[in-house]
Structures are given as C-alpha cells and as structure tokens.
Amino acid sequence: MNDRFGMFIHWGLYAIPARGEWVRHYEQISNEEYYKYFEEFNPVKYDPVKWAKLAKKAGMKYAVMTTKHHDGFCLFDSKYTDFKATNTKIKKDLVKEYVEAFRSEGLKVGFYYSLLDWHHEHYPVDQFHPMKNNPRYKEQKRDFSKYLEYMHSQVKELMTNYGKIDIIWFDFSYGDMSGEMWRASKLVEMVRELQPHIIINNRLGGDLRSENVPTYAGDFITPEQIIPPYPITNYKGDYVPWEACITMNNHWGYHASDKNFKSAKTLIRCLVECVSKNGNLLLNVGPNAYGEIPEESVRILEEIGDWIQKNSESIYGCGASQYPKPEWGRWTQKGNKLYAHIMEKPIGPIILPNLNGKIKKARLLSDGSEVRIIKPWNAVEYQNDAFINFDGVELPDPIDTVVELELEV
Ligand code: GLC
C-alpha cells in the first residue's frame, strides 16, 4: 500500500500464436496442437534485468509474473511436470532469473499462479476448457484430487525454491470452483508458513468485505480492468486494500495486432485515481516470443517514469484524502501533505474548496517553486475556499500538475 504501483507480466507459450493468453480456449486448441509452440519456444532475448530496470524507471516498486497460466505451461522448473521452460530450447528456469533480476534492482517480487490448468489430465473439462466440445476429452476419467495434489505441490515449490516471495497472485475462482474446492485453507496455511511475510490476493474465493472472512480470502481485492468508483470498505466501513489490474492494450498476453495502447497520460491519471481511492495499480506488459516487452509498452512506461520521477511524493505512501474529489482533478494525501492533482484548468482561479486558512504553504511538486495562495477580486464571497493560479492558458504539466499543500496541523 506504500508502493502503489507494480508491473504485471503475462508471458508464456501463447506469445508465439500472439493472439492473447486465452488463445487455446477461443480457438479450441488441443494439447497436441499446442505442443508445437512448446517445441518452438526459445526466447533468446529474454533479459529480465532489462525488464526490471524498465519497471524501476517507470516508478514501479514490485512485479507479478505468470509462473503458470491457464494453458498449464510452467515458466519454472517444477519436478511435477515436463511441460516447463527447462524442457524447451531455452532450457532455463525463467522464473528463477526473473526473481534474481527484480530483486537485484530492489523491486519486490510476486508470482501469478493459475488455478485453472488446461494441460493437466485431471483438470475438469468445464466451460472454460479448450476441449469442452471434444467428445474424446469429455469421456476421459479425471480425478480432481490428483490435480489438487499437483497444484499444491507446485505452489510449495514456488514458495520454497526462490527465496523470499512478496506476493502470490492466484487466478481464479468461478462457480463451484472456489474456496475449499481448491483446498484453499490448507493451501494458504502452507503458503503463510513458508513465506510469513507474503501478501496473498483474493482469487481463491471468499469476500474480504464480509463479516465472516475465511482464511483463504487473502489480503487484497483485485478489480480487473476497472477502477472502483470509491475506496473499498468492509461491512464495518473499514478500508480494504485493493489493487486494480489493467492492461496497456486490450490483452494480457502478447497480441501482435492489438495496437490499442492507452496513452501515458491515461495511465498516469489511472494510477493517480487508484491512489486517490486507496488502491494500487498493477499495470500489465505482455512480452513477445523472443522475450521482449513490446516497444509501445516500453515507450509508455518511460513516459510514465518521467512524470513519476518529478511527482513521486504524491504517489508512494499516499492514499485517499479527507477532502472530496475536486472538479479539476483529484486529491491524494499523506499525513498533513495534501496533493492537488490538477488535470483540467478551470476558467479563472483554481479553487481549493474549504481550505481557506488551512494551508501553511503550497509548492509545485515538480520543481519546489512557490505557488501563491491568492485572494482573487472576483472570489471574495467564497470565504471558505483557498485559491491558486498559474500564468498561461495551459497548466505547467498538461498531464497532471501536482501542487503540494502543507496543511496546518
Ligand atoms: C483473468 C484471465 C487472465 C488474466 C487475469 C488477470 O482472470 O483469465 O487471463 O491473467 O485475469 O487479472
């Protein structure tokens, strides 16, 4: 909750077909057909140090990478399967290298792990399974408890073989496939025992907002492709930690023709919105078959980094303000520091509602320059409010001009 901004990484064999990570499902690709990508997979340009440096430059403080997605392919060296990166041409434990690289750049490290597994012979052929329309698959006898053993053993490997892990991100529960169906209490107990400091997401099931929170409900809520309308609270009204996961284009896994990238401006404002509502942003990249983060993503992340570098004080350690959302943008707050994120220049002076007499000093965060609290002639009747202004028709930073207001205590 201090760090606020992280990198999500969706990477696997699906980078080769390059039509997103659900390609097996949408195109009903069998294990046999999908195997050709396994034989081909050879990400010779995989350089996690480069990824980590990029994440750091963008202002991200942590990362979460897919160790296994729904397709069942493991980027780590699991002894319970042959369907893993070490058996491909690259012959490497890609997760191990990721952990080392991100750690050495001072970033916190998280693992995404898919509860669904379309490769495993004992995972049910249900509505999401690529072979749901294939009679041969439907007739096979499947023993879900065998899958559960496999899944628990893999999670144990991930929690044992890679040193300290900061986050585990399970994905996902649906219908009956939720909670104890995953033997979730046992799973969480094991995870917490092996990694006492770990933070667990909420997709094993259970509701963190409810009165009876099961142990497996995790530590934070994970809104997907949406920013909640207001801070998330539980039944008592206490804040519940959350992290929105958002794609930069319209897919998680690499998609060669999806060039629908959101601008740096949109994503910076998205981050600010999350923080202003007490949340985090986990922003996704989908590296390609060679192991490179798409150049569009690189450019956008660098631009985000330029802004963050100047305005980091208004993000890290910040959260929702005691003041309601202003018309020109958003507030973030950390103790007696109130950050005005001004995104739209109003006609006339910028109004700081109900802050008259409460501001000790105001500074432009990007350069520390004084922002004078003014008393405009045309605003005398608005006695409760304070006012500032900038010369010129444009704001100093058209993306988000941040003014740090030090409040009287
Ligand atoms: C979903 C999707 C998935 C993606 C995830 C990210 O549940 O199944 O492909 O990994 O959300 O939040």
pLDDT under 50 in the chain at which residues?
none
Phi-psi region of 313 (alpha: psi -120 to 50; beta: other; left: phi over 0): alpha
Please state whether beta strands 279-285 and 5-9 pair in parallel, antiparallel, or not at all (unpaired): parallel
Give the C-alpha separation, 316 to 314, whole Å: 6
- Mean predicted lDDT score pLDDT of the chain: 98
Max intra-chain CA distance, the chain: 81
Q: Nearest-CA neighbor of 258 among 300, 297, 305?
A: 297
Amino acid identity of residue 139, one-letter, is E
Residue 187, ligand 1, Cβ within 6 A = no
**Atom in ligand 1 nearest the alpha carbon of residue 10:** 10
**What residues form DSSP beta bridges with 404?**
339, 363
Residue 174, ligand 1, Cβ within 6 A = no
Domain 5-311 is found in CATH 3.40.50.880? no
CB 329 within 8 A of CB 344: yes
What's this model's pTM, rounded to 2 decimal places? 0.98
pLDDT of residue 138: 82
DSSP type of residue 392: S
Joined together, the tokens standing for residue 112 give: 């995404």
Residue 166, ligand 1, Cβ within 6 A = no
CA distances from 230 to 118, 328, 388 (A): 36, 17, 27
Alpha-carbon radius of gyration of the chain: 24
How big is the CA angle at 247 (ends 201 and 227), to the nearest 5 degrees?
65
Total number of residues shown for the chain:
409
Q: Whose CA is nearest to atom 10 of ligand 1?
A: 252
Task: Report the CATH number of the 329-407 domain.
Answer: 2.60.40.1180
Question: CATH 2.60.40.1180 region(s) of the chain?
Answer: 329-407
- How many Cα atoms within 13 Å fall on the side-chain side of residue 339? 25
pLDDT of residue 43: 98
Give the C-alpha separation, 307 to 110, whole Å: 25
Residue 172, ligand 1, Cβ within 6 A = yes
CB 84 within 8 A of CB 77: yes
Q: pLDDT digits over 16-50, tens only?
A: 999 999 999 999 999 999 999 999 999 999 999 99
pLDDT of residue 86: 98
Backbone angles phi, psi at 159, to 5 degrees: -85, -5
Give the C-alpha separation, 67 to 349, whole Å: 51
Q: Collapsing DSSP states into helix, strand and coil, what is residue 221?
A: strand
Residue 117, ligand 1, Cβ within 6 A = no
pLDDT of residue 234: 98
